[in-house]
Amino acid sequence: MTQYYVQQLVNGLTLGSLYALVAIGFSMIYGIVRLINFAHGDIAMVGAFSTLGLVAVGAPWPVTILVVLAVGALAGVTIEAVAFRPMRNAPQVTGFIATLAVSVVIQNVGIMVFSGQPRNFLFPDVMRTRVPLGPATVSLTDLVIVGVTVVLMSLLVVIVHRTRLGMAMRATAENLQVARLMGIDINRTIMAAFGLGSALAAVAGLMWGGRFGQIDPLFGFVPGLKAFVASVIGGVGSIGGAVLGGYLLGMAEVLFVGLLPPEYAGYRDALVFTTLILILLVLPNGLLGRGVEDRA
């Protein structure tokens, strides 16, 4: 019985890690440009397919992770420059529609290049090793996913709170106009938010593929939507909130499936979105979000 609960806990942490990594990007991007980037989940797909390519050419895994981070960052920065920057002063709805359009484009390019057939995505065999954890054993894959997530989040915290660029990003997120008055080049801070957020999403895609074993060009959208839910639960705009929301959502989803009779398992997505509605009814700004006044 203990084995069962430890396993569920680890499953929740693993799923939560993936949601959190993607949710961070939603929050960072929203925090600076007040844009919900619906193409963000598709960056995870880009990361996963890049991984397949790198594995095919025999790149070692540590190198693969670094390259996937870079590919994600590049994809995010490119999307911002090509699709979102030209309409930065347009009404919010226009930007919102643009992100949906970019998402559709990325998915369809994916289908054209890789076809819509799901592909197997395998981590090396060693990742299936069972590792003892207290009274139970868990798979190495799950430990690595949680571990990589913690490392990446720590790096992000250092960048955001200990560097000049991070300070400029926080200032821009809080007050874009005054940030400009202080000489901050907001194009650079916006690029940084897209780059960092998308790098994390791409690695989340890599780990998603390894954890669930299959990927297709559309797989990023639904996890992306759930990560968006996670960032809203935590308080969109807050990085800490995105992490909290990601883990809460991952845990809730796993507990729902694990504790209720199996015939309810198909309703897990319904649960996610019901949770969102309930939390927003009680806490319109999410758990850690502060009221955001709209900038004129």
Partner 1 sequence: MLELVDLHVYRGATHVLRGISMTVDEGEVVALIGANGAGKTTTLQTVSGLLRPRTGEVTLRSQGRRIALAAQAPEAIVRLGVVHCPEGRQVFASLSVEENLMIGAYARRQRTGIAADLARVHDLFPILAERRAQRAGSLSGGEQMMLAVGRALMARPRLLLLDEPSLGLAPQMVETIFAVIRDLNRAGVTILLVEQNAAMALELAHRGYVLENGTIALSGPAEALLADEQVKHAYLGIAG
CB of 286 to partner 1, least distance (A): 16
- Find the shortest distance in angstroms from Cβ 244 to partner 1: 17
Binding characters for partner 1, 172-211, by CB under 8 A (x = yes): --xx-xxxxxxxxxx-------------------------
Minimum CB distance to partner 1 smaller for 149 or for 172? 172
Best CA proximity match to 210, nearest among 146, 152, 287:
146
Q: How far is the CB of 35 from partner 1 (least distance, A)?
A: 20
Residues 6+ apart with CB under 8 A from 246: 16, 17, 18, 19, 20, 21, 22, 23, 24, 227, 230, 231, 234
Cα 149 to Cα 203: distance, rounded to the nearest angstrom: 9
CA–CA separation, 227 and 243 (whole Å): 10
Point out which span in 3-11, 125-133, 171-179, 264-272 binds partner 1 (CB under 8 A). 171-179
- Looking at the Cβ atoms of 56 and 181, the one nearer to partner 1 is 181
Rg (CA), the chain: 19
Is residue 235 within 8 Å of 30, Cβ to Cβ?
A: no
* Residue 53 vs 240, nearer CB to partner 1: 240
Q: Of 21, 73, 146, 168, which lies in the binding site for partner 1, with binding defined by CB under 8 A?
A: 168
| Interface residue list for partner 1 (CB under 8 A) | 164, 167-168, 170-171, 174-175, 177-186
